[in-house]
Copies of this chain bind each other. A is one copy, B any other.
């Protein structure tokens, strides 16, 4: 049976979901073949209901359905113990968990503030009223009110990235000499912006940008082949 990843899709089949990118990089890391099933926002619930899930990423692996990127990472480790480990060790798993929470609670709110109206411009018409209403509720402001605040969001993001910056200045990947799931969690957030917005989140000479470029080159340039929105 085929392995299918339910993946968020925008207009022109753009794939920008940060959480889906975590999972796609994890599947590549483990060397597992998969196909993606594109879902626009308003069809996600129906398409992933088979797994008891409500959001993407959701993975269908033969008869098994798993929702939530962290749960999928844990599932992959358990189901495919002979494939390259996403965590490497118990401490590596703890690091991945911390990095995942850092991505979701520190990075995501700042990136969302900087790019949310660009995402709005790159989703299909059918998703727009749902997206605007849900995101304006989430952010506590209208998309139009957020637009002039981009610079402040970018500035806060760059400050918040100091732990990432100082780590990848000393070693090629967050996890050390080779990437693991901690790297994919943080990379997913930057790939989200790269594929949905022309906002320059990082200065060109930022070591985080150099690390992101290394991530784009992994697995034969897998993530790098996803079209970027030109800056």
Interface residues of A (CB under 8 A from B): 87-95, 97-99, 101-102, 105-106, 160, 162-164, 166-167, 170-171, 174-177, 180, 182
Contact = CB atoms under 8 A, between A and B. Distances in A.
Nearest to A161: B105
A171 B94 contact: yes
B176 A91 contact: yes
A95 B91 contact: yes
The A contact surface, by secondary structure, is helix
Contacts of A106: 106, 160, 162-163
A167 B101 contact: yes
Contact of A91 (B101, B162, B167, B180): B180
B176 A105 contact: no
A175 B94 contact: yes
Contact of A89 (B92, B99, B160): B92
12 contacts: A88-B91, A89-B89, A91-B175, A92-B95, A94-B174, A95-B182, A97-B167, A98-B164, A98-B174, A98-B182, A101-B162, A106-B106
B180 A105 contact: no
A115 B216 CA distance: 42
A167 B94 contact: yes
A91 to B, nearest CB: 3
A164 B97 CA distance: 10
A50 to B, nearest CB: 27
A123 to B, nearest CB: 28
Contacts of A164: 98
Contacts of A177: 90
A183 to B, nearest CB: 10
